[in-house]
Every structure is written in C-alpha cells, then in structure tokens.
C-alpha cells in the first residue's frame, strides 16, 4: 500500500505502526506478518466494538424505556468504582465462557460444533474489504462488493447447520424459517447496492468511496445518499440490513419472547455467545458497507472537517448507524412471518428494481446542465416517490388507518 506523503501523521499512524512491526521480521515472512496484523487489528477493534455495542444497546434501550440500564458492574478489586457499568460486557464474556456447554446426545456433534465457528468466521470475512480510512483497507479487491455478499450469504449455511446439527424439530423448523427470511432479504439488499455499482462503474469499495469524495461549495458532500436513487437505495438497504442481521423488527429467527431460541435452542454457553457475536459482527459489517456505499465511507461531511483522520470519520459513522439500529429496535414491534416476506417480495424488491432504472436514468443524464439539471432531479425524485406512494397505498389498503374500538 502506498502512503501519500501529503497526509497528516494521524492519517498514516496505523500504517506506520504496522510497517514498524513488519520491519522487525525477515523479508520472507513479511507478507504473512502484514496480513496477520490486519487480522489482529480487525479482531481487536471490532471485538471491542462488539463488546461496547452490547452495553450501548442495553443502556440505550433502557433509556428509551425510562430505565437506568446496567450500571453496577465495576472492577474486581475496586468495588467503589462503578464506571457506569461499562465493564458489563467483560462480565458477560466471563459468564458465557464459564457456563456449561450442553450438546444433545443425538446431535450431529461435528455440525453442532462447527456451526458457531463457521458463522463467526464468515461474518468476520466481510470486514476484509471495507475501507476504514483513506489508506486503511485490509484487502483491496476489484470485486470487493461481490466478495462481501458472498461471504455474508455464507452465514446462512451456518444457520442451517445449527438447526440441522441440533437434531431438534424446533431448531430445524426455525432454521428453515430463518433461511426463508434471509433469502427473501438477500435480494433487496443486493438490489439496493447495484445502482451504486451502476453509477460508479466499479465493484471496488475503495473506488466507490473515492467517487463520493467531493463537495459542492465545500459543504455539500457528494455522498450517494444525497441523490434520489441513493436515498431510496439507502432506505431499502437499511430495512434489508436489519432483516439480514436478524435485528428487531425482523428478529423472528430468534424471537426470544415467542420462541425458545429458534435455531439456537440447543446451544448454550460460549457457543450461544458466538452466535450472538456473529449477529453483531454481521450488523457491523453491513453498517460498514452501507456507510461505504451510501454515506461516503471515510469521507468527512464538510471540506473544513478533513483534518479529523478518516478512520475516525468511519468509526463515527459506524457508531451512528449502530445507534440508529438500536433506536429502531427500541421503537418497532416484531413482524409476523407472512408480513415479513410480503414486505420483501411485494414492496422492497419492486422498489429496488425501479430504483435500478432510476440509477440508470441518473447515469445516462449526467451531462444535463442548467434547467435540465432540475428536470433530472425532478424526474428522479418522481421515480422514487410515485411508486412508493402507489405501492404503499395498494398494499396497506384495508389495513390503515387502523381504528381501535376499545383502546383510548
């Protein structure tokens, strides 16, 4: 990776540190150390990010419900130091590790063991192609988006492994239901990203971010989310990402208040924690992709804010996305399975397909200037809004507005 000399030291600091460590090793081993360091960095940063996501989620959900949230776990030898309960995830980790690991007698031992390992491994693979900063991209692939979705989809295999390997009817049925959900939402998820590929003409995440890199008058960023097709695509992406990562309101596969635990019924202890971890890694990776593709990746929102290192911008946007997802979780109710699949096939997929046409129109009319530019925006906005309204009205006919006869 080449280092641009004009960048600030903070921008390059992670790379400088990595090259300093790599320099201690013989040349023959340097490529290996280089990649091992990238892997270590991802595991450390996103492992901690996962840990603090769990505590943030519990705190924020508590505040949304006017509770305090976990605030009692402190440090082992400093009992008076409470630290607002920030050490809770580590206490949770110790609890998960020390819990008994129960494997059903008739379970397929290999698959039962392999499923949590595979799901964590595949959900981590996506991080390899995300550009975390101007120069911080673990692996620069030309087909990065393709690779990301291939790796992300493989987690579905692990879910079915878990359901099948448990040799439990409920687990198996839940795994099939989970697959139905994940496959339904794979389509709008990918279709919402395709317009970006169409407009930028590249599958490389690094180039997609660079493409969003300029500002109109220094403060209007050229992020894809600020175009009509990008905005629609981002919304579809958000919904599909929620469903893909089994988050509320699409957390049917493991609806803890209704089912036992879906395909995780026969899992306990650290294996269960691994599934949990994979879910959050998947969510984080998908948020990272959403940021990369729609929210300008590591780009600063205004030109004068560029002095802040790009990787801080990325992590800030990532935290914002996660908080938004937690906010959604605190607000919306869980959907029924038929509502869930109907939302995907009857609403999101047609809109995503139309959005693809919208993006095609946008890239064909890139030469329109002056009053034609306004026409371009108007037509594009109309392609987004009119089908949304018509389709929404048709699908909710007879359902809304709902009248409550007995509620106040």
Partner 1 sequence: MLGSGILKGLGVTAKNFVGSYHDPARMVTQEYPDTPAKLPEAYRNFPFLVTENATDPMGTLRCVACQICEKECPPQCIYIEKSKDKKPDATGKPQLYPAVFAIDTAVCMSCQLCVEVCPFDAIKMDHVFEVAATNRFEGLLLNREQLAKPNEYFHQIRPTEAAEVDGRLTAERKAAEEKAKAAAAAKAAAPKLPSPVAKPQDELRCSPTGEGGQPKPAEGGTTP
Least separation in angstroms between CB 330 and partner 1: 5
The single residue among 201, 327, 375, 386 that binds partner 1, judged by CB under 8 A, is: 327
Strands 215-216 and 220-221: antiparallel
CA distance 389 to 154: 35
- Picking from 248, 331, 242, 326, the residue whose alpha carbon sits closest to that of residue 56 is 326
Q: State which residue, 36 or 400, has the beta carbon closest to partner 1.
A: 400
The single residue among 13, 39, 40, 63 that binds partner 1, judged by CB under 8 A, is: 63
389 binds partner 1 (CB under 8 A): yes
331 binds partner 1 (CB under 8 A): yes
Least separation in angstroms between CB 90 and partner 1: 22
330 binds partner 1 (CB under 8 A): yes
- Picking from 45, 241, 199, the residue whose alpha carbon sits closest to that of residue 133 is 45
Least separation in angstroms between CB 407 and partner 1: 15
Point out which span in 1-9, 37-45, 65-73, 119-127 binds partner 1 (CB under 8 A): 65-73
Q: State which residue, 339 or 366, has the beta carbon closest to partner 1.
A: 339
Q: State which residue, 219 or 327, has the beta carbon closest to partner 1.
A: 327
CA distance 5 to 219: 25
How far CA 63 is from CA of 249, 287, 326, in Å, comes to 19, 23, 11
Least separation in angstroms between CB 63 and partner 1: 5
Nearest-Å Rg of the Cα atoms of the chain is: 23
Other Cβ atoms within 10 Å of 399 Cβ, number: 7
Residue 242 · residue 236 · CB < 8 Å: no
Instruction: Please list the alpha-helical segments (H only) found in 216-300.
Output: 228-244, 269-293
Point out which span in 50-58, 125-133, 330-338, 355-363 binds partner 1 (CB under 8 A): 330-338
Least separation in angstroms between CB 34 and partner 1: 43
Residue 249 · residue 185 · CB < 8 Å: no
Q: State which residue, 95 or 393, has the beta carbon closest to partner 1.
A: 393
CB-count burial class (<10 Å; 0-12, 13-18, 19+) for 351: buried
Residue 197 · residue 143 · CB < 8 Å: no
395 binds partner 1 (CB under 8 A): yes
The single residue among 3, 32, 68, 386 that binds partner 1, judged by CB under 8 A, is: 68
Point out which span in 112-120, 149-157, 285-293, 384-392 binds partner 1 (CB under 8 A): 384-392
346 binds partner 1 (CB under 8 A): no
3-state DSSP call for residue 82?
Answer: coil
CA distance 169 to 174: 8
- Picking from 286, 289, 337, the residue whose alpha carbon sits closest to that of residue 155 is 286
328 binds partner 1 (CB under 8 A): yes
Point out which span in 29-37, 204-212, 273-281, 385-393 binds partner 1 (CB under 8 A): 385-393
Q: State which residue, 175 or 349, has the beta carbon closest to partner 1.
A: 349
Q: State which residue, 402 or 405, has the beta carbon closest to partner 1.
A: 402
CA distance 329 to 267: 24
Least separation in angstroms between CB 71 and partner 1: 8
CA distance 232 to 252: 25
Long-range own/partner contacts, residues 138-141 (CB < 8 A, 24 or more apart): 138/35, 138/38, 138/39, 138/42, 139/38, 140/1, 140/204, 140/206, 141/204
Point out which span in 61-69, 122-130, 177-185, 352-360 binds partner 1 (CB under 8 A): 61-69
The single residue among 60, 141, 157, 176 that binds partner 1, judged by CB under 8 A, is: 60
382 binds partner 1 (CB under 8 A): no
Least separation in angstroms between CB 328 and partner 1: 8
Least separation in angstroms between CB 400 and partner 1: 8
3-state DSSP call for residue 166?
Answer: coil
CA torsion through residues 150, 156, 158, 161, sign = negative
Residues lying near partner 1 in the complex (CB under 8 A):
60, 63-68, 327-328, 330-332, 388-389, 392-393, 395-396, 400
């Amino acid at each position: 990776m080449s280092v641009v000399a004009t960048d600030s030291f903070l921008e390059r600091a992670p790379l400088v540190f990595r090259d300093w460590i790599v320099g201690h090793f013989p040349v023959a081993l340097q490529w290996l150390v280089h990649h091992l360091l990238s892997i270590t960095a991802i595991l450390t940063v996103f492992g901690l990010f996962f840990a603090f996501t769990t505590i943030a989620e519990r705190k924020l959900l508590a505040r949304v419900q006017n509770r305090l949230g976990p605030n009692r776990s402190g440090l082992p030898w400093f009992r008076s130091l409470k630290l607002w309960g920030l050490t809770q995830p580590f206490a949770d980790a110790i609890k998960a590790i020390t819990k008994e690991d129960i494997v059903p007698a008739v379970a397929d031992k290999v698959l039962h063991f392999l499923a949590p390992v595979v799901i964590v491994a595949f959900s981590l693979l996506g991080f390899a192609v995300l550009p975390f900063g101007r120069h911080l991209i673990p692996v620069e692939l030309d087909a990065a988006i393709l690779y990301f979705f291939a790796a992300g989809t493989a987690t579905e295999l692990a879910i079915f492994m878990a359901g099948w390997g448990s040799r439990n009817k409920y687990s198996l049925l839940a795994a099939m239901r989970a697959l139905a959900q994940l496959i339904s939402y794979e389509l709008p998820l990918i279709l919402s990203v395709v317009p970006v590929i169409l407009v930028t003409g590249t599958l490389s995440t690094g180039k997609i971010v660079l493409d969003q890199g300029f500002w109109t008058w220094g403060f209007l960023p050229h992020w894809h989310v600020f175009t009509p097709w990008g905005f629609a695509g981002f919304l579809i992406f958000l919904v599909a990402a929620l469903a893909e990562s089994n988050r509320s309101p699409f957390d049917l596969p493991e609806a803890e208040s209704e089912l036992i635990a879906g395909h995780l019924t026969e899992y306990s202890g650290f294996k269960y924690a691994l599934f949990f971890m994979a879910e959050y890694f998947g969510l984080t990776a998908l948020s990272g992709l959403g940021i990369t593709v729609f929210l300008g990746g590591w780009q600063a929102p205004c030109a004068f804010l560029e002095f802040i290192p790009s990787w801080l911008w990325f992590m800030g946007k990532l935290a914002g996305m996660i908080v938004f997802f937690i906010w959604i979780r605190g607000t919306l109710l869980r959907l029924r399975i038929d509502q869930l699949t109907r939302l995907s096939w009857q609403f999101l997929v047609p809109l995503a397909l139309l959005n693809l046409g919208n993006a095609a129109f946008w890239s064909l009319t890139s030469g329109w200037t002056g009053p034609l530019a306004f026409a371009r925006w108007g037509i594009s906005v109309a392609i987004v809004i009119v089908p949304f309204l018509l389709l929404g009205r048709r699908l909710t006919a007879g359902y809304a507005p709902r009248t409550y006869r007995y509620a106040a």
